[in-house]
Structure 1
Amino acid sequence: MQSSSNLFPVALISAERRGDLSEDVYRLKPGNSPDGTVELAVTRLGLADVPENRGIAVILLHGSFSNRRFWYSPKGLGLGAYLARQGFDVWVPEMRGHGLSRRNQDYAKNRVADYARYDLPAIGAFVREQSAQTPHWIGHSLGAITLAAALGARHLDASAVASAALFGCQVSRTHWPLKIPPVEWAGRWLLKRFAHVSGPRFKRGPEDEPAGVLIEALRWNGLFGRFGDADADWWKGLAQVDVPLLAVSAAGDEQDPDWACRKLFEQVGSEHRQYLCLGRGQGFTGDFGHVEMLVSKAAQAEVWPLAAQWLKDPLTPLSAARPELMATA
């Protein structure tokens, strides 16, 4: 079968009309990582009646225990669908073993380091090839952490990222028991007994998560842990990042609290950066939660338009009236 890309083998596995939206699903085989079985599903959303009139390209990265449906539901609801209806060229990848992306041979050993080093650069290169523009990136939770890792390690830079928006993204919340080496070792030992952790079983989400990602998080939070891998200190690397940045926290988020998200924001060295906390104290109708910050009726009314405004002009403050909005020009 002829490839849909000149970069590496890509197959168009589905092309459907979903109401007023077009949904094209591609399967990428980048072949750029030690595990040659890795395949990544990337869905392109657009307006069905104007397929050749694509707007600003944006890549949406889902979080842990999740898939493309976080960004758009079968009924055509979600930030991804909203942006497509606003005329954006929307791309929704699914990480290894999630959604339409098949489980690779070394699925249990998948790590954020692999996503950041191999998968995001391949996805970004494919989107640049197809859209003929440098895409904007939006990540939520683990998707945002992966994007931050790729930026901090220089796997992605300004040539591949027009702007980056991190929702619910932090690596500074301390789990004190993990600072006790035997506790961390026991956690690693236990996770190594399993290939994955079930999202549905533990009511974390619709997808499983490979054990390697969770073991990696244990290491970050260990006694001498750091946000990085054996080759690079991603945390230090964030200070050298120079792409427009938007960091968004939620006042009611207990998983990734505001103070921790703010700490990561302050570590990033971008000249143009903005910080926004979604809460009553900042002029919103309520204190948003970790998921509700992007998936809720309130988010549809208050957050999605801000996301669209950011993508159209990342260099202009979203709203000077919000006291918790920090910007550096």
Structure 2
Amino acid sequence: MKQESLFVKSDEHQLHVRHIYQQEGGTPILMLHGTIENGKIFYTQSGKGLACYLAKQGFDVYVPDLRGKGLSIPTLHETTEHGQHEMIVADIPSLVKFVAEKTGKPMHVICHSWGGVVFCSSFARFPDLHSHVLKLVCFGTKRSVYRKTFNKFWKVDVLFNRIAPFLAKRKGFIDAVKLKFGADNETSRFLKECTYWVKINPWHDPVDQFEYGNAANSIEWPDTWHLTGVNDDLLGHIDDVKAFVEETNPAAKVSLLSKQAGNLKDYDHIDILTDANAVQDHFPELVSWLNK
């Protein structure tokens, strides 16, 4: 298996893309990470993770770091002003175009958490992306958090919606790595735009008011599979996942991974991708579904 770093231009940014493959010519897969993380949620240099597993099955895998994340250039600093709007209107179209032009083939798209929200937003907004996407897979993807629990109040309402934006406003970005509650950092504007949707507001763009909900209801979605873990009680709770499914593609397949459902363990928001059991558990089933 081979790994190489490529770079894709998006506005003034150079997006780092980890290209992972066993051999040339396989069906391409674009994998998009979520909030306060980067592409390494999908791979390690030693060959672990879903991206590496898929490459070993013959897929041609591309794992980007969205702007300001991972090895993308430039990194976040005090004057960084972009938010999720730029990811939706610039980064994702640039990445899809790059993979399509490099491989000459349509691709599968696999997302984790908020990566699924920004991808679905871009897909709904830009019809020229549709012909490039074969199937869509989302792990733990929700847009709004509807549940009312103490855990939600403390971690979402207080920490994410109030404290994090306050800290980010002082520095220009939230240093989640230094504060030890994330694998990567986020800009102040990203937090503001993301929080707007998490708070159960309409699915329209807080920057230019584009109506994603209306657009999503007027297009044909690719075959879609949403997976989440029974122990994901906040960031990808099954009820919130289903609510996002209703906003996008109500015909999508939805799976709750748990011992009760026959899985090897009760998965949560992160180990649904990183646990060693996944290689014998839902990863093979995912490959079968992609190859149908």
In the other structure, the counterpart of 1:217 is: 194
Q: 1:266–1:192: structure 2 CA closer, same or farther, 3 Å change rule?
A: same
Structure 2 residue aligned with 1:148, among 120, 129, 138? 120
Structure 1 residue aligned with 2:9, among 29, 34, 49? 29
Distance 1:187 1:221 in 2: 14
Which letter maps to 1:118?
Answer: A
Q: Decide whether the 8 Å contact of 1:240 with 1:268 is kept in 2.
A: no
Q: Decide whether the 8 Å contact of 1:195 with 1:210 is kept in 2.
A: yes
In the other structure, the counterpart of 1:81 is: 52
Partner SS, residue 249 of structure 1: strand
In the other structure, the counterpart of 1:58 is: 29
Deviation, structure 1 residue 84: 0.6
In the other structure, the counterpart of 1:45 is: 20
Distance 1:186 1:71 in 2: 28
Structure 1 residue aligned with 2:181, among 201, 204, 211? 204
Equivalent residue runs for 1:249-260 within 5 Å: 249-254=228-233, 255-260=235-240
Distance 1:156 1:192 in 2: 36
In the other structure, the counterpart of 2:244 is: 264
Partner SS, residue 109 of structure 1: coil
Distance 2:51 2:84 in 1: 23
Distance 1:240 1:176 in 2: 34
Which letter maps to 2:189?
Answer: G
Distance 2:85 2:131 in 1: 20
Residue 228 in 1 paired to residue 204 in 2? yes
Distance 1:127 1:221 in 2: 30
Partner SS, residue 133 of structure 1: coil
Distance 1:310 1:40 in 2: 29
Partner SS, residue 83 of structure 1: helix
What TM-score do you get using the length of structure 2 for normalisation?
0.86
C-alpha RMSD of the superposition: 2.7
Q: RCO (CA 8 Å, sep 6+): is it higher in 1 or 2?
A: 2
Q: Decide whether the 8 Å contact of 1:61 with 1:92 is kept in 2.
A: yes
In the other structure, the counterpart of 2:172 is: 195
Deviation, structure 1 residue 101: 0.2
Deviation, structure 1 residue 166: 1.1
Q: How many residues align?
A: 280
- Greater share of helix: 2
Deviation, structure 1 residue 132: 0.7
Partner SS, residue 217 of structure 1: helix
**Higher radius of gyration, 1 or 2:** 1
Which letter maps to 1:239?
Answer: N
Where structure 2 has 5 or more consecutive residues not aligned to the other structure, the ranges are 147-151
Identity score, percent: 23
Q: Decide whether the 8 Å contact of 2:7 with 2:16 is kept in 1.
A: yes
Structure 2 residue aligned with 1:171, among 143, 148, 168? 143
Distance 2:174 2:167 in 1: 11
CA offsets, 1:24-67, max 9 Å, x none? Answer: 22112243xxxxx21111121111xx4xx421110011122222
